[in-house]
């Protein structure tokens, strides 16, 4: 039978609830349990796909093509279970489903209300996320509820999980609450009052926490732990200190050493002994003992919020660990880069990455960046939009197609080398169609798709014969220009089997040591243990470039 752990948050947001949930999942997984994580987001958007990265950070894409919260990225990087559409849902999605049922007449004449209809719907979605009734059913599903206790928006979610735990009986659900203890310098004290209040708020709605994860900039002294326990009705061993650490890989061991997994297993009557957390210790060791450092320029638009490129940042760090170097990432605003001064801005980097993005702002700076990387033989990795700008750059400056562009940025361009595709096959095999007037939400090419990789290319040395990666984009390299680009020397190293959509472009290794653009998002599949073949190769190329320039 599947058991549940519900993770709620209090006091303030951004305390690292996603990392805490993923870490708990990881230590439960290390006990041999099959675990999954489900994220519940209280906002009304049906999914985060239409939200700006400034609002919400990165949109994480799953194999099955769901546009999800970036916490699902942490989940996939921390545990073995792969995330699916059913692992993340929002208030908007719940209401969409309730309203569809209402229109169909499923409620048989009843008045449709938050309790029980919305709360029942939430419970059904949670059960679906845990794979209940399918061969994928897990031993433990950790359900992270977004937002903080006391928000109007999260109330139906909290009510739903309270009902669910009651329905399941005493040893089938546990509650973990993440809270915050501010350090008041003037008093020289960590304050427990906000924690007392947030736990009270939780108890008001009928939820008694089994464990409190107390975030603070330091360890919680014993005296404060005893006080928190007394005021919150949580046994002292359930008051767990979660202090600031320099790497997230330290969190699983931190929680395990204070007995969090033991406590949860006791509560849920799961009789599985702990095993080694060596794989986490190895990651910490690798992070703390690099044998060199490379600096990567990441040229994008959303530079002020590093969460916008969360998975790319992580993938670069993983690749650093595989190459035993620390990867320093400098985010450059593409709006500040022009052809004339690209060299001055970019010369000091060991490699250049242009990540995904939407909209015309800053695009010319990205094109100038790709041109600089190509002409100066600096390792270049273009992801999604990064591939598109590299193609535009090549068309303009090598293939002689002046003013070539993407129709996303210039609908009247004489040479639409990147254009909207109107029909394609999606991750689930269905044929999808769209035009300029289609909805923006959920109408991109999404999810994992496979293509054949051309032999003897750089891509082939990285991926082998087939590449399967996740997509999230609306525009594509225009098939009608491929011959011209090829004749001008651009290598098209992978095409989708059915539509012949361009998946990878590269420069021949005879003219450039490492220049590659990919239409997909490889960053979503990188893990701390294996890294990702493309990022591993990119960082290796950065190390090589550093050596070459040092010699020169
Ligand atoms: N804006 C481009 C498109 O929609 C690229 C998208 C991306 O980089 N994810 O095709």
**Alpha carbon of 259 to those of 16, 25, 279, 476: distances in Å?**
19, 14, 18, 51
pLDDT of residue 425: 64
Q: How far is the CA of 287 from the centre of ligand 1 (A)?
A: 32
C-beta of 389 in contact with ligand 1 (< 6 A):
no
**Ligand 1 atom at minimum distance from 355 CA:** 8
Per the annotation, the verdict on 521 as an active-site residue is: yes
Mutate which of 60, 355, 358, 518 to test ligand 1's pocket (most atoms within 8 Å of Cβ)?
358
Structure tokens at 170: 């005493």
Residue 158, classified by CB atoms within 10 Å of its CB into exposed (0-12), middle (13-18) or buried (19+), is buried
C-beta of 473 in contact with ligand 1 (< 6 A):
yes
495: left (phi over 0), alpha (psi -120 to 50) or beta: beta
Structure tokens at 293: 């450092």
C-beta of 357 in contact with ligand 1 (< 6 A):
yes
Structure tokens at 367: 């094109």
Report the DSSP beta bridge partners of residue 452. Answer: 466, 495
Of 1, 363, 89, 298, nearest to 98 (Cα)? 89
pLDDT of residue 423: 66
**Ligand 1 atom at minimum distance from 408 CA:** 1
Name 23's Cβ contacts closer than 8 Å, sequence gap at least 6.
Answer: 78, 248, 251, 252, 254, 255
pLDDT of residue 439: 59
Q: How far is the CA of 318 from the centre of ligand 1 (A)?
A: 24
Q: Which is catalytic among the residues 384, 393, 415, 503?
A: 384
Name 493's Cβ contacts closer than 8 Å, sequence gap at least 6.
Answer: 453, 454, 457, 458, 459, 460, 503, 504, 505, 506, 516
Tell the residue nearest (CA) to atom 5 of ligand 1: 385
Q: Going residue by residue through the chain (552 aa), what tens digit of pLDDT does each one get?
A: 999 999 999 988 888 999 999 999 999 999 999 999 999 999 999 988 888 777 778 899 999 999 999 999 999 999 999 999 999 999 999 999 999 999 999 998 899 999 999 999 999 999 999 999 999 999 999 999 999 999 999 999 999 999 999 999 989 999 999 999 999 999 999 999 999 999 999 999 999 999 999 999 999 999 999 999 999 999 999 999 999 999 999 999 999 999 999 999 999 999 999 889 999 999 999 999 999 999 999 999 876 667 889 999 999 999 999 999 999 999 999 999 888 888 889 999 999 999 999 989 999 999 999 999 999 999 999 999 999 999 999 999 999 999 999 999 999 999 999 998 776 566 666 776 666 556 555 568 888 888 999 999 999 999 999 999 999 999 999 989 999 999 999 999 999 877 778 999 999 999 999 999 999 999 999 999 999 999 999 999 999 999 999 887
Residue 101, annotated as binding a ligand: no
Residue 23, annotated as binding a ligand: no
C-beta of 320 in contact with ligand 1 (< 6 A):
no
C-beta of 39 in contact with ligand 1 (< 6 A):
no
Residue 16, annotated as binding a ligand: yes
Q: How far is the CA of 141 from the centre of ligand 1 (A)?
A: 33
Q: How far is the CA of 476 from the centre of ligand 1 (A)?
A: 8
C-beta of 385 in contact with ligand 1 (< 6 A):
yes
Q: How far is the CA of 461 from the centre of ligand 1 (A)?
A: 26
C-beta of 523 in contact with ligand 1 (< 6 A):
no
> What's the rounded Cα separation, in Å, for the pair 220 and 189?
10
Strand 431-433 relative to strand 423-425, pairing = antiparallel
Q: Which is catalytic among the residues 397, 521, 532, 545?
A: 521
HSE (CB half, 13 Å, CA atoms) of 87? 30
Residue 316, annotated as binding a ligand: no
Q: How far is the CA of 50 from the centre of ligand 1 (A)?
A: 13
pLDDT of residue 552: 78
C-beta of 302 in contact with ligand 1 (< 6 A):
no
CA 1 to chain CA centroid, nearest Å: 29
Per the annotation, the verdict on 265 as an active-site residue is: no
Residue 13, annotated as binding a ligand: yes
> What's the rounded Cα separation, in Å, for the pair 32 and 264?
14
Per the annotation, the verdict on 214 as an active-site residue is: no
pLDDT of residue 440: 57
Q: What are phi and psi for residue 6, nearest 5 degrees?
A: -100, 125
pLDDT of residue 222: 94
**Ligand 1 atom at minimum distance from 444 CA:** 4
Mutate which of 309, 385, 518 to test ligand 1's pocket (most atoms within 8 Å of Cβ)?
385
- Answer whether 175's CB lies under 8 Å from 210's CB: yes
**Alpha carbon of 515 to those of 145, 417, 504, 512: distances in Å?**
42, 19, 11, 6
C-beta of 477 in contact with ligand 1 (< 6 A):
no
Mutate which of 58, 310, 360, 384 to test ligand 1's pocket (most atoms within 8 Å of Cβ)?
384
C-beta of 474 in contact with ligand 1 (< 6 A):
yes
pLDDT of residue 55: 74
C-beta of 515 in contact with ligand 1 (< 6 A):
no
Domains and CATH numbers, the chain: 3-283 (3.40.50.300), 290-551 (3.40.50.880)
C-beta of 475 in contact with ligand 1 (< 6 A):
yes
Residue 17, annotated as binding a ligand: yes
C-beta of 470 in contact with ligand 1 (< 6 A):
no
**Alpha carbon of 306 to those of 232, 263, 486: distances in Å?**
36, 35, 36
Q: How far is the CA of 474 from the centre of ligand 1 (A)?
A: 6
Q: How far is the CA of 201 from the centre of ligand 1 (A)?
A: 43
> For every residue of 280-321, which 3-state class applies, written as one string?
HHHHHHHHHCCCCEEEEEEEECCCCCHHHHHHHHHHHHHHHH
Q: How far is the CA of 473 from the centre of ligand 1 (A)?
A: 4
Tell the residue nearest (CA) to atom 10 of ligand 1: 475
């Amino acid at each position: 039978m599947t058991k549940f752990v519900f993770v709620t948050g209090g006091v303030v947001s951004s305390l690292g609830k996603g990392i805490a949930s993923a870490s708990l999942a990881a230590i439960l997984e290390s006990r041999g349990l099959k675990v999954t994580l489900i994220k519940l987001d209280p906002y009304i958007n049906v999914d985060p796909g239409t939200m700006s990265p400034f609002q919400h950070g990165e949109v994480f894409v799953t194999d099955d093509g769901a546009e999800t919260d970036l916490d699902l990225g942490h989940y996939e990087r921390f545990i073995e279970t792969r995330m699916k559409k059913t692992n993340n849902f929002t208030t908007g999605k719940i209401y969409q489903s309730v309203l569809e049922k209402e229109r169909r007449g499923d409620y048989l004449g009843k008045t449709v209300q938050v309790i029980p209809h919305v709360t029942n719907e939430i419970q059904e979605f949670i059960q679906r996320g845990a794979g209940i009734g399918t061969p994928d059913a897990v031993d433990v599903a950790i359900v992270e509820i977004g937002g903080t206790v006391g928000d109007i928006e999260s109330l139906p979610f909290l009510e739903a999980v309270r009902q669910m735990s009651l329905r399941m009986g005493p040893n089938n659900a546990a509650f973990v609450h993440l809270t915050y203890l501010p350090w008041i310098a003037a008093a020289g004290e960590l304050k427990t009052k906000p924690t007392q209040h947030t736990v009270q708020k939780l108890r008001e709605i009928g939820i008694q926490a089994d464990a409190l994860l107390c975030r603070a900039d330091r360890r919680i002294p014993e005296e404060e732990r005893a006080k928190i326990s007394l005021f919150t009705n949580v046994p002292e061993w359930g008051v767990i200190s979660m202090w600031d650490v320099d790497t997230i890989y330290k969190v699983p061991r931190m929680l395990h050493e204070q007995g969090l997994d033991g406590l949860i297993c006791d509560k849920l009557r799961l009789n599985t002994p702990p095993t080694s957390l060596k794989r986490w210790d190895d990651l910490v060791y690798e992070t703390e003992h690099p044998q060199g450092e490379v600096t990567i320029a990441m040229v994008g638009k959303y530079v002020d919020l590093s969460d916008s490129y969360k998975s790319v940042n992580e993938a670069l760090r993983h690749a650093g660990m595989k190459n035993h170097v620390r990867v320093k990432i400098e985010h450059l605003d593409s709006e500040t880069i022009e052809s004339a001064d690209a060299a001055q801005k970019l010369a000091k980097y060991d490699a250049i990455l242009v990540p995904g993005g939407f909209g015309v702002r800053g695009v010319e700076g990205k094109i100038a960046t790709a041109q600089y990387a190509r002409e100066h033989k600096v390792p270049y990795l273009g992801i999604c939009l990064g591939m598109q700008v590299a193609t535009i750059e090549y068309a303009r400056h090598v293939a002689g197609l002046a003013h070539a562009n993407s129709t996303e940025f210039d609908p009247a361009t004489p040479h639409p080398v990147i254009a909207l595709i109107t029909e394609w096959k999606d991750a689930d095999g269905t044929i999808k169609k769209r035009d300029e007037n289609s909805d923006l939400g959920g109408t991109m090419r999404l999810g994992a798709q496979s293509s054949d990789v051309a032999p003897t290319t750089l891509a082939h040395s990285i991926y082998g014969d087939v590449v399967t990666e996740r997509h999230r984009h609306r525009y594509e390299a225009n098939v009608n220009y491929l011959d011209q680009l090829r004749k001008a020397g651009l290598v098209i190293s992978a095409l989708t089997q059915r539509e012949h959509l361009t998946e990878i472009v590269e420069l021949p290794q005879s003219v450039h040591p490492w220049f590659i653009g990919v239409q997909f998002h490889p960053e979503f599949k990188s893990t701390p243990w294996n890294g990702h073949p493309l990022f591993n190769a990119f960082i290796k190329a950065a190390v090589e470039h550093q050596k070459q320039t040092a010699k020169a």
